[in-house]
Each structure stands twice: as structure tokens, then as C-alpha cells.
């Protein structure tokens, strides 16, 4: 039988990091859509992130993206976040939005461009020092569009050299989480196309290098929960970038396209001890809210992760193991599906009430008047968005 009190204790401790860029204007490659009340500064993004935490109770950190969130004083920004009841989380690097990076950043055939990209990565570690951040998130759009465009092996050598330099710069309590992506904007070959490439580089670097699994960065039909189970078993799963995809890297709200997949992923997280505080796994959102309201989209995403986690915690481990060991295929599947089909919304509403929160975070946020207030206050200036 499942101990509901133990389930609640785990859910109460769960932390889900929101991304600063999700609060700004965003869209598709065709159009960035403007919304009212969008933040203009990193501090206003933090204000919005603090609202998500205030209404969910489990989103205490906000990831920054450099240079989108560049400020003169990062220590002061971290203090501001703490005053708002949150903290600065992962520092995300950007070596893909500069004309110099057309042929790649750290794998570029031009040594001067590689040096420029490396300086940015090292500068981001300085920002980690100032903000107290633990994680440096690395994603490279580096790759090629045509066969023969560049030497595949040499690009891996350049990548390894840059990663090693960053790794050496990390402090004792810091780490890098290395993301991968199947394609886009490089269409013939991406330098870190899959979890195996990320894992291989991280394994060579050492314990402060971990793999980041972005749930939208895989080929259709990829068994992401297998990847999660494997990396957990090897102690190399460092972080998630949660989102949903129907076709490619859609960056939709997590759990929107395939909630059953999110449940399967979270079951492997539970099975592998990934919810234990000592596991160190960062559960982050990485989403593009291009038509949905920004803060509500983040709240809904946090709730989706909570629901999938709660269902995963309700799997009857003893019954499942017994069915598996006896070869009872349908029995094992039934145990699994019973947990998934459980309506955990009343459990989570009860938990929020115990935490002093409104049972329905979306309704409570809408009733708070926060959006109306910031729409009135955030007049003039440049609204934050992609590249701003």
C-alpha cells in the first residue's frame, strides 16, 4: 500500500525551476507575439517568477539566460531575487545568436571565433560565482548543413577542448549540465545530437559534468524514459529541460502533448532515486509561451510536473515487482496503469492547503490582480523577448 503521507512529503520537497525567458515575448521563427504586461528587465522577470512560486510553493528558483538577462551587478540581482522569495538558478549560456557563430561557436573552424565563444562560457562561470548558482547550462547549436562542410572529427576535438577549459574553471560546488539536440539550426549534422554524445563528453570530463535531458530534443518515437533510467543508473543525469513536442522542438507546456510520457519519465526518476535531495537533479522548464499567458503557462507547467510525479509515486512498487518477477505481463501493466489513471488533483489540492496555498493556483493567480497591476505599471521601455 502507498503511504500517502510519504508521498506528500516528497511532493512538498519537489523543486521545479522556471526559465526567465518564458516570461518575455516569444513566438515561432515566423513571428514573435507581443503580450501586455511582459517584463522589461531581469528584475521584472524575477518578479513574475516569484508569482509562480508564491502560488505553487515548489518553484523557488529562476534560471537566467546570458546575455538576455545581462546586468551590471549580478550579486545585486541575486539579492533582489532572494528579497522576492526566490533564488537564481542555472546560468544558461548563449553562443548561438551572434553573426560570428554562423559556422559554429566552440567548434567553429576559425580559432578567433572559438576563443570568443569560450570567453563567454567562462564569463558565465563568473556570473555563477556572483549569484551563487550551481549549474552552468550548455547548449550548442553547432553543426553543419552539408556533407563535407567541415571535418566531423576535428569539430569533436574542438568541442572537447572547450568543455575541458570550462570544466577546469568550475568551482568545487559547481557543475555543468550538457544539453543535446537532434537537429536545428544545423540540419545535416549537429555536434551534440543525442544523449550518447553528451554522456561520452561528460564521462570523460568527470563528476562535475552531467547530462541535461530536454524532453523535446529527440527523434519521434524515442524512448526518453529509457534514457533517463540509463543516466540515473550511471549517475550522469544532471538536469531536465521539461517541455512538450508534437513534431520537433515545439517547446510547448510540459505534459501537454503526451502526459503519459511525462508519467513514464517521472516513474523512472522515482525508481532511480532521482527525487532524493542528494541526487542533485535539477527539474527545469524550458518552454516557449507564444500564445498562452506567460505566468499562467508556467504555473500550469509546474502543476503538470507535480501531477505526473504524484502518479509516479503512487505506483505500487511491491505489486509491480511481484508481477514482473512472475512474468505476469498484463498484471504488471495493470499496476502501472492504475497509478497513471488515478486522479491526483484532490491529493495535490489537499497538499497545497496544508502548505498554506490556494488549492487551485491558476484561479488564485487570476484573482490576485497581479496581471492587471503589471500591465498598468510596465508602460514604456522595451519588452523582454528573444534576444532582448
Please determine, for residue 169, whether its predicted confidence score (pLDDT) is greater than 50.
yes
Q: 388: pLDDT confidence band, cut at 50, 70 and 90?
A: very low
108 or 386, higher pLDDT = 108
If you average pLDDT over residues 273-299, what whole number do you get? 94
If you average pLDDT over residues 325-340, what whole number do you get? 98
Please determine, for residue 375, whether its predicted confidence score (pLDDT) is greater than 90.
yes
Helix and strand numbers (H, E) in the chain are: 14, 12
Alpha-carbon distance of 105 to 116, in angstroms, equals 8
Q: 27: pLDDT confidence band, cut at 50, 70 and 90?
A: confident
DSSP single-letter state for residue 216 = T
284 or 29, higher pLDDT = 284
Please determine, for residue 151, whether its predicted confidence score (pLDDT) is greater than 60.
yes
Query: Any residues with CB less than 8 A from the CB of 83 and at least 6 apart, and which?
Result: none
Q: 387: pLDDT confidence band, cut at 50, 70 and 90?
A: low
If you average pLDDT over residues 133-161, what whole number do you get? 98
Please determine, for residue 1, whether its predicted confidence score (pLDDT) is greater than 70.
no
Alpha-carbon distance of 40 to 239, in angstroms, equals 28
Q: CB 119: neighbour CB atoms within 10 A?
A: 10
If you average pLDDT over residues 90-98, what whole number do you get? 97
Work out the percent of the chain whose per-residue pLDDT is above 70: 99
Residue bearing cell 529509457: 226
Alpha-carbon distance of 275 to 165, in angstroms, equals 31
| Averaged confidence pLDDT in the chain | 96
Work out the percent of the chain whose per-residue pLDDT is above 90: 94
What is the per-residue pLDDT for 290? 87
Please determine, for residue 33, whether its predicted confidence score (pLDDT) is greater than 90.
no
Segment 57-69, tens digit of pLDDT: 999 999 999 999 9
Ordered by where they begin, the domains of the chain are: 14-312+373-377 (3.20.20.150)
- Is residue 204 within 8 A of residue 160, CB to CB? The reply is yes
If you average pLDDT over residues 277-283, what whole number do you get? 95
Please determine, for residue 75, whether its predicted confidence score (pLDDT) is greater than 90.
yes
What is the per-residue pLDDT for 235? 97
Residue 288 grid cell: 516557449
Burial class (CB in 10 A: 0-12, 13-18, 19+), 322: middle
Amino acid at each position: 500500500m502507498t503511504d500517502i503521507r510519504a508521498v506528500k512529503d516528497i511532493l512538498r520537497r519537489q523543486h521545479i525551476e522556471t526559465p526567465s525567458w518564458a516570461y518575455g515575448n516569444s513566438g515561432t521563427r515566423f513571428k514573435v507575439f507581443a503580450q501586455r504586461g511582459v517584463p522589461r528587465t531581469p528584475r521584472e522577470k524575477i518578479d513574475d517568477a516569484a508569482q509562480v512560486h508564491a502560488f505553487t510553493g515548489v518553484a523557488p528558483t529562476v534560471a537566467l539566460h546570458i546575455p538576455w538577462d545581462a546586468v551590471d551587478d549580478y550579486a545585486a540581482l541575486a539579492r533582489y531575487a532572494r528579497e522576492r522569495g526566490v533564488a537564481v538558478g542555472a546560468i544558461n549560456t548563449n553562443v548561438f545568436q551572434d553573426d560570428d557563430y554562423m559556422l559554429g561557436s566552440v567548434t567553429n573552424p576559425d580559432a578567433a571565433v572559438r576563443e570568443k565563444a569560450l570567453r563567454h562560457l567562462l564569463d558565465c562561470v563568473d556570473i555563477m560565482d556572483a549569484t551563487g548558482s550551481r549549474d552552468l547550462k550548455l547548449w550548442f547549436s553547432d553543426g553543419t548543413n552539408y556533407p563535407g562542410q567541415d571535418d566531423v572529427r576535428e569539430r569533436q576535438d574542438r568541442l572537447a577542448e572547450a568543455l575541458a577549459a570550462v570544466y577546469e574553471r568550475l568551482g568545487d560546488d559547481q557543475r555543468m549540465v550538457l544539453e543535446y539536440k537532434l537537429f536545428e539550426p544545423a540540419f545535416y549534422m549537429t555536434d551534440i545530437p543525442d544523449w550518447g554524445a553528451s554522456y561520452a563528453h561528460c564521462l570523460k570530463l568527470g563528476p562535475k559534468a552531467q547530462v541535461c535531458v530536454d524532453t523535446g530534443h529527440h527523434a519521434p518515437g524515442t524512448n526518453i524514459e529509457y534514457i533517463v533510467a540509463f543516466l540515473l543508473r550511471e549517475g550522469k543525469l544532471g538536469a531536465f529541460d521539461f517541455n512538450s513536442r508534437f513534431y520537433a522542438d515545439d517547446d510547448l507546456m510540459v505534459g501537454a502533448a503526451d502526459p503519459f510520457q511525462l508519467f513514464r519519465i517521472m516513474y523512472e526518476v522515482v525508481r532511480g532515486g532521482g527525487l532524493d535531495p542528494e541526487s542533485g537533479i535539477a527539474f527545469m522548464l524550458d518552454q516557449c509561451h507564444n500564445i498562452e499567458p506567460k505566468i499562467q503557462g508556467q504555473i500550469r507547467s509546474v502543476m503538470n510536473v507535480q501531477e505526473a510525479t504524484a502518479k509516479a509515486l503512487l505506483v505500487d512498487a511491491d505489486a509491480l515487482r511481484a508481477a514482473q518477477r512472475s512474468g505476469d505481463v498484463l498484471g504488471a501493466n495493470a499496476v502501472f496503469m492504475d497509478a497513471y489513471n488515478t486522479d491526483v488533483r484532490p491529493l495535490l489540492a489537499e497538499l497545497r492547503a496544508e502548505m498554506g496555498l490556494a488549492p487551485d493556483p491558476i484561479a488564485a493567480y487570476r484573482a490576485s490582480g497581479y496581471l492587471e497591476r503589471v500591465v498598468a505599471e510596465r508602460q514604456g521601455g522595451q519588452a523582454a523577448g528573444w534576444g532582448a
